[in-house]
Amino acid sequence: MNLPQHRKVWMLSWGLGLATLLCFWPILGNGFVTVDDPQYLLQNPWVRGGVSWQGIRWALTSMYACNWHPATWWSHMLDCQVFGLNPAGHHLVNVLLHAANAVLLFTLLRQLTGAVWRSVCVAMLFAWHPLRVESVAWTSERKDVLSAFFGLLALLAYAKYVHSRRSPIPGEKVGIRNYVLALVWFGLALMSKPMLVTLPGVMLLLDFWPLQRVDALWSRRFLEKAPFFAMAVLVSAITLLAQGKGGAVSSAVVAPIPARLANAAISYLQYLEKTFVPIGLSPIYPYPENLATWLVILSLVILSAASWLVTRARHSEPALFTGWFWFLGTLVPAIGLVQVGPQALADRYTYLPSIGLFVAVVWGLGSVVQENRRAVRWAWAFAVASVVLCGVVTQVQATYWRNGVTLYAHAVKVTTRNYVAFDYLGMAHFDHGEPDEAIAALGESVRLKPDFAVAQYDLGSVSLAAGRPAEALSHLQAAVHLAAADVDAKLSLANCLLQLGRPAEAASTLSAASTLHAPDAVLLNAWGTALLMDGKPGEAETRFREAVRLRPDSAGAHRNLGVVLAKQGRSTAAVAEFAAAARLDPQDAELLYNLGMALMETGRPTEALEAYSDSLRLRSDDARTHYRCGLVLAVLGRDKQAVEHYRQALRADPGSATVKADLAWILATTTDTQVKDPDEAIRTAEAACAAGARPEALPLASLAAAYASAGRLAEAEAVARRAQESAGQAGETVAGARAAQILQACEAGQAVKN
């Protein structure tokens, strides 16, 4: 049955889009991965907050994560607005954009060439190839599918502009509209991913074939695209600034120019290999330590020969020329001439460049077999088999992206000596709550490349988080040595030194970090903590005050300032800082406990009780807070409630002699007959006295009070004298005062009162 052309195109478009959705549908069951997704989404408050005018402005002006791609940020914000942090929703948008790109590519090639079946074949190879998985399955690579979406729309608008210029009916307004539309789409493509700076070059290639605009001077064609080139240059400058500012660009010392050129040649060859034999695909291919000269020469020979052949055949086989140089040219921004990151190449970089290869292959093969009907049938059989095989391998490849552990476990299996993949695998295990597996993987990364500063830092940080500061120390010291300008490494090393009880060294490390750039609140808080532990409260206060000045909205900065003020006996000022911190972070139980302590020091027991009670609502089994509540309630004369809190404190900490002593004191001295219990007071006080090798003054005073309450005055007087002597030796004023009160009551024959 011969279908009308428009219906056939319509059915092919819908079939292509739906088949692409089905091919990538399993991705919706995957989670986020540990590389970039936390930085881009999970820990980015601007994106997590959804769409807002402030977020839109931030995206336009920010160079966060060493990139400038505001349109990508806006799309992530919209995802969070609609789906929150449900990964299925974010993956769905990526899949929908990729399916749309497949249909757009088919539409573009069909309109440019009129060849329906060749166009759909290229679109299927593009859409279902395993190299597409990284761009679609990785949430943070939204920039790939989004930039391609706008880029293909720009090429479609450009094609319509060219056709309108050729129309026998003057269409000046239509032409201008399409030209402006192409500029707008191109601008959005650049705002999604700067790699599309090469799109004006693609337009020039399309001018040669299939648009065949060879009837005018090429200088006019360049002039026609001057606005596009100007936008590309501007965005290239912004991108280099963003990546240089963020430290993502490797220097010529780390990655020498000759090495970059050699790696670029080899990478082109590897991209060709992975396109035609897509096995052993990995999310990371580390930069090679040594490049074989023979391989560099072979790569250059193959690339040069292919370029020479397609150039020589440009008139007879123009599709080969356009397709080949589309592939070479669009890869230039990502080929490593400007080295960004540790990778030598990446599957995601082939998203748009692969279109050129598929155009060259499909049109080239079509030209070879078109005169032979049998060869045409074999060619179609080969094409169908290739497309089906691509779809099957793609679905298998997508399963590896289930989470960070499955992804990087696969990476270390299919590559050799992949120290970067082992580092990523270790951090994925750590994020999954598997510190032992994390340390093992990170240790392998360090073994493979001891001078890899990132792995040394990650291994040290994970060891520190796992409670192994002694093991962490050498790795953090190595990270600081390898990356002397890394403030985070110095912060982690200082934290490790603090845990090892070496505050002076920690303070010195943080002092060195402060010279790298103006200290922020995080560094100042850590520095102040080190100085306080080193017995320098005055200097610590200076750092904490500066942290509060820089970040008045930081609860931690106010809390730390409150602590140092309290340690200096400036309780009123400490109360103000603790209260400010509690307003900013009312869910911090320890902070509320400190506020209660400071309020008691300033003689405000009712407010202190309120702070302690708020702390207990967050941490109901904390022995210290129950004990402090008991003390405040005893001061307020609410002995029954005080006893209950003392009992709860003992349930949480049964061995506390201090709590037992104070509980025994109230049981012996209270005037509340419902609470008073001399026998329990004696048992509790005796237990308090037996808690240590030698009874302390406070338990002895409580035991004397218990004896007096039971009418055993002679024993009470004897124990009270022991308590008074012990208190005098230890300087315990409370126990001494209680012992004196008991002796006075015994001499007067009166009861001891609380």
- Reported as a pLDDT band with limits 50, 70 and 90, residue 378 is confident
For residue 215, the model assigns a pLDDT of 65
CB-CB contact of 500 with 488 (8 Å): no
> Is the peptide bond between 519 and the residue preceding it cis, with omega within 30 degrees of 0?
no
Alpha-carbon gap, residue 44 to 174, rounded angstroms:
43
Closest CA to 306 of 258, 356, 348: 356
Percent of the chain with pLDDT over 90: 78
Calculate the alpha carbon distances from 267 to 185, 298, 321, 710 in Å.
30, 12, 20, 91
Average pLDDT for 508-529:
93
Closest CA to 597 of 586, 606, 587, 608: 608
CB-CB contact of 631 with 663 (8 Å): no
Which distant-in-sequence residues (6+ apart) come within 8 Å of 420 by Cβ? Answer: 284, 286, 342, 343, 445, 452
Percent of the chain with pLDDT over 70: 95
For residue 255, the model assigns a pLDDT of 61
Half-sphere exposure of 450 (CA within 13 A, CB side): 5
For residue 718, the model assigns a pLDDT of 92
259-283 b/e (C-beta count within 10 Å ≥ 16 → b): bbebbbbbbbbbbbebbeebeebbb
Token pair in block for residue 190: 């650049």
Alpha-carbon gap, residue 448 to 442, rounded angstroms:
10
DSSP codes joined into one string, 440-461 = HHHHHHHHH-TT-HHHHHHHHH
Residue 285 β-bridge partners: 345
CB-CB contact of 558 with 545 (8 Å): no
Closest CA to 665 of 647, 652, 678: 678
Region of poorest pLDDT, from 282-296, 494-508, 528-542: 282-296
Write the pLDDT tens digit of every residue in 616-627: 999 999 999 999
Residue 343 β-bridge partners: 286
Alpha-carbon gap, residue 151 to 333, rounded angstroms:
15
Which distant-in-sequence residues (6+ apart) come within 8 Å of 163 by Cβ? Answer: 111
Average pLDDT for 446-469:
96
Region of poorest pLDDT, from 71-80, 159-168, 446-455, 502-511: 159-168
Output phi, psi for 340, to 5 deg: -120, 120
For residue 242, the model assigns a pLDDT of 85
Q: Is pLDDT of 535 > 50? A: yes
For residue 661, the model assigns a pLDDT of 92
Amino acid at 729: Q
- Reported as a pLDDT band with limits 50, 70 and 90, residue 252 is very low
Write the pLDDT tens digit of every residue in 263-279: 899 999 999 999 999 99
Closest CA to 219 of 230, 210, 207: 207
Mean pLDDT of the residues in the chain: 92
Report CA torsion sign: 265, 266, 267, 273: positive
For residue 2, the model assigns a pLDDT of 66
Q: Is pLDDT of 336 > 90? A: no
Average pLDDT for 729-750:
86
Average pLDDT for 724-731:
88
For residue 485, the model assigns a pLDDT of 87
Which distant-in-sequence residues (6+ apart) come within 8 Å of 505 by Cβ? Answer: 497
Alpha-carbon gap, residue 346 to 339, rounded angstroms:
12
Torsion-angle region of 556 (φ positive above 0: left; ψ -120 to 50: alpha; else: beta): alpha
Region of poorest pLDDT, from 68-77, 254-263, 511-520, 693-702: 254-263
Which of 356-370, 430-444, 728-742 is the most confident on average? 430-444
Half-sphere exposure of 382 (CA within 13 A, CB side): 11
Output phi, psi for 392, to 5 deg: -65, -50
- The 3 state secondary structure assigned to 25-66 is HHHHHCCCCCCCHHHHHHCCHHHHCCCCHHHHHHHHHCCHHH
Calculate the alpha carbon distances from 172 to 176, 549, 628 in Å.
6, 61, 84
- Reported as a pLDDT band with limits 50, 70 and 90, residue 746 is confident
Write the pLDDT tens digit of every residue in 407-429: 999 999 999 999 999 999 999 99
CB atoms within 10 A of CB 411: 22
For residue 735, the model assigns a pLDDT of 87
